[in-house]
Amino acid sequence: MKKVLVAGASGYIGRYAAQAFKQQGWFVRAFVQGSEKLKRPGPFGKPALDGVADEIVTGDATKPDTLHDIADGIDMAFSSMGLRSSRPGLTYHDVDFLGNINILQEAMRHDVHKFIYVSIFKAAEMIEMQIVKAHEDFVQALKNSGIDYSILRPNAYFSDMIQFQKMAASGVIIWPGDGNLTINPIHGEDMGEICVDAAAPGHQDIDIGGPDIFTYKELFTLAFTSINKQPRIIFIPLWIVQGLHTLIKPLNARIADMLAFAIAVNTIDNAAPRYGKQHMKDFFENYAKKNFSD
């Protein structure tokens, strides 16, 4: 039986990747900081890993002494691990770059055959952002390591779109730009299947989107109609957001990075090659029934 190490197994994609590998007959070793929350489903339909992970190991990727032998006996390593929320004293460089470097070094020490890493769609066009730079610094290190690799570049996940449904529930969506650029998010389950496919031998760098392409205006309208509300959308000219970014950048790097991301996704088109079979409309409607029904 082939064995996979899934780093970031508590996250949205990590859980679906672990589930998909298990369904395809792999032995799954899940690497997380804390194991308790894995026993129950997570937000946005994330599957529980009880009965999925054959083995759960805990540690802190930023502390190499906690990673000893996490890749022992492993055939392939997978990582969607990164800094997802504020942790005192840690940066994207610490977690997304150095943390993954530490996992890569363990994988190479144990002669792991391949490393699959989840990065960012059109990263080269947003490289000035801290989170993107950290991802791409690791991508470069992985490519230079000599190990076989696959780089996966999803443009967005269904779970990311829930923020728009929550805005719609509050009565209004406010967004930079004019809403005419496009995006096609992908469901975590569909993404999990792509992760397993990426285990095939050979270097791969894959751009990934879901089956349905929307303009942001269409996506926002869908967020409203899924909760039976009349759309109310306000678009803010980009120059205003760019000015705000310039003011905030010297004061708060993290908020400035968030604004930079909002600016970036509204200056480049985010439609990616289509994969998967699950639809945003169904996801919105199912989430609405559980969270916004009267």
pLDDT digit string (tens) for 61-83? 999 999 999 999 999 999 999 98
Confidence at residue 130, expressed as pLDDT on a 0 to 100 scale: 86
Tokens encoding 149? 């690799």
What's the average model confidence in pLDDT over 196-206?
A: 96
Q: Which of 47-56, 84-93, 135-144, 169-178 has the highest mean pLDDT?
A: 135-144
pLDDT digit string (tens) for 244-266? 878 888 877 767 777 777 787 78
Confidence at residue 263, expressed as pLDDT on a 0 to 100 scale: 81
Q: What angle do CA 155, 127, 190 make, to 5 degrees?
A: 15
Q: How far apart are the first and last CA of the chain?
A: 48
Phi and psi, residue 154, nearest 5°: -70, 150
CA distance 139 to 47: 28
What's the average model confidence in pLDDT over 80-99?
A: 84
Instruction: Give 42's pLDDT tier (boundaries 50, 70, 90).
Output: low
What's the average model confidence in pLDDT over 84-107?
A: 88
Phi and psi, residue 30, nearest 5°: -95, 130
Confidence at residue 1, expressed as pLDDT on a 0 to 100 scale: 87
**Which residues lie closer than 8 Å to 210 by C-beta, 6 or more apart?**
158, 184, 185, 186, 187, 190, 274, 275, 276, 278, 279, 280
pTM of the model: 0.91
Bridge partners for 79 per DSSP: 7, 117
pLDDT digit string (tens) for 225-249? 999 999 999 999 888 878 887 888 8
Instruction: Give 94's pLDDT tier (boundaries 50, 70, 90).
Output: very high
pLDDT > 70 fraction of the chain, expressed in percent and rounded? 94
CA distance 7 to 100: 9
Instruction: Give 128's pLDDT tier (boundaries 50, 70, 90).
Output: confident
Q: Which amino acid is at 283?
A: F
Closest CA to 148 of 125, 115, 104, 173: 115
More confident residue, 286 or 87: 286
Burial of 69 (0-12, 13-18, 19+ CB in 10 A): exposed
> Are 92 and 85 in contact, with CB atoms under 8 Å apart?
no
pLDDT beyond 70 at 35: no
What's the average model confidence in pLDDT over 27-47?
A: 77
Instruction: Give 294's pLDDT tier (boundaries 50, 70, 90).
Output: low
More confident residue, 177 or 221: 221
What's the average model confidence in pLDDT over 127-144?
A: 94
Closest CA to 214 of 288, 154, 292, 156: 156
Closest CA to 106 of 164, 29, 15: 29
Across the chain, mean pLDDT equals: 91
pLDDT digit string (tens) for 264-274? 778 899 999 99
Kind and range of the H or E run holding 170: helix 158-170
Confidence at residue 259, expressed as pLDDT on a 0 to 100 scale: 76
CA distance 43 to 130: 26
> Are 181 and 266 in contact, with CB atoms under 8 Å apart?
yes
Kind and range of the H or E run holding 218: helix 216-225
What's the average model confidence in pLDDT over 188-201?
A: 97
Closest CA to 123 of 81, 152, 147, 158: 152
Instruction: Give 162's pLDDT tier (boundaries 50, 70, 90).
Output: very high
Instruction: Give 38's pLDDT tier (boundaries 50, 70, 90).
Output: low
Q: What is the number of alpha carbons within 13 Å of residue 9 lying toward its C-beta?
A: 36
pLDDT beyond 70 at 39: no
pLDDT beyond 80 at 281: yes
Q: What is the number of alpha carbons within 13 Å of residue 171 lying toward its C-beta?
A: 0
pLDDT beyond 80 at 48: no
CA distance 153 to 206: 6
Domains of the chain, each with CATH number or no CATH: 3-155+188-208 (3.40.50.720)
